[in-house]
Structure 1
Amino acid sequence: MISFNYETEFELSNEADYSKWILETINEESCKEGELNYIFCDDEYLHKINVEFLDHDTLTDIISFDYSVGKELHGDIYISIERVEDNAKDFDVEFKEELKRVMIHGILHYCGYKDKTDEDALQMRSKENYYISKFV
């Protein structure tokens, strides 16, 4: 089950379309949908989580807590809408495209993709671009 939770004024206008897209991504990656929670928040909310749980005193666009069991994906994905807005401006892309990138990025991590090395980051970006292009 994919759920969307809001700790900010922002809300997805078409949750069903996003759920379908995420589920199709999970299926194409040969994984199974478990309990996936998206929590949309602001910088302050996510910064507090970053400090408290990861001991990182920085702003970030996404933090995901992976509770997956094998190929069955479970987790909490926190997304700062403020960071996504700023990143969209910095990268000169539409807000909706950057939001999709961040949303699918968390799922791809759960599917086993990493992004710490240059090679892994390139593969992650390629997968992100592929799945963003599949959003209807």
Structure 2
Amino acid sequence: MKRVTFRYADRKLALSGKTTIQSFVETIFKKEKKKLVHINYVFCSDTYLLNINRDFLAHDYYTDIITFGLSEPGEAIEAEIYISTDRVKDNAGELGVSFKEEMLRVIFHGALHLCGYKDKNKSDVALMRQKENHYLTTYLSKH
């Protein structure tokens, strides 16, 4: 079984190099010294992710990503990560970057959450952005 899988809830994802991206996510866990069992990335619409946000987190707003860790603390990592392709597309436009670059950032962001990085306060956000930029730059320089 693959350790990183891509699934589609209510839409397909047009993104080149999916197998390479999946392998690179595994590399992030190796570099961060975290044991990975499996991550299932689920790509979906704004509406689909809004319903998850409401039902599971009691949040009534759109978001680009929700990460659910399925393993106990200290165990090898198993998770599901839901990503709204609508949000990623809108955010890419607002940030002036390509859809692929923003999607990679969000994919890596979810992996980094599972490695223990947070984004609740300014110092956490700064470290998260630094890690995202590092892995994004590393990936883009090789692919």
TM range, smaller chain: over 0.9
- Pairwise CA distance, 1:13: 3.0
User: After superposition, where does 1:51-130 map in structure 2 within 5 Å?
Assistant: 51-69=54-72, 70=74, 72-130=76-134
Aligned match for 2:21, one of 12, 18, 42? 18
Contact 2:39/2:79 (CA < 8 Å) preserved in 1?
yes
Q: In 1, Cα distance between the equivalents of 2:39 and 2:15?
A: 16
> SS of the residue aligned with 1:5?
strand
- Pairwise CA distance, 1:74: 1.0
Q: In 1, Cα distance between the equivalents of 2:31 and 2:39?
A: 17
Contact 1:35/1:75 (CA < 8 Å) preserved in 2?
yes
Root-mean-square deviation over aligned CA pairs: 1.2
Contact 2:46/2:62 (CA < 8 Å) preserved in 1?
yes
- Pairwise CA distance, 1:134: 1.5
- Pairwise CA distance, 1:12: 3.4
Q: Identity over aligned residues, as a percent?
A: 43
> SS of the residue aligned with 1:134?
helix
Q: Write the letter of the residue equivalent to 1:130.
A: H
Structure-1-length-normalised TM-score: 0.95
Q: Write the letter of the residue equivalent to 2:114.
A: Y
- Pairwise CA distance, 1:71: 5.5
User: After superposition, where does 1:37-52 map in structure 2 within 5 Å?
Assistant: 37-52=40-55
Q: Which runs of 5+ in 2 are unaligned?
A: none
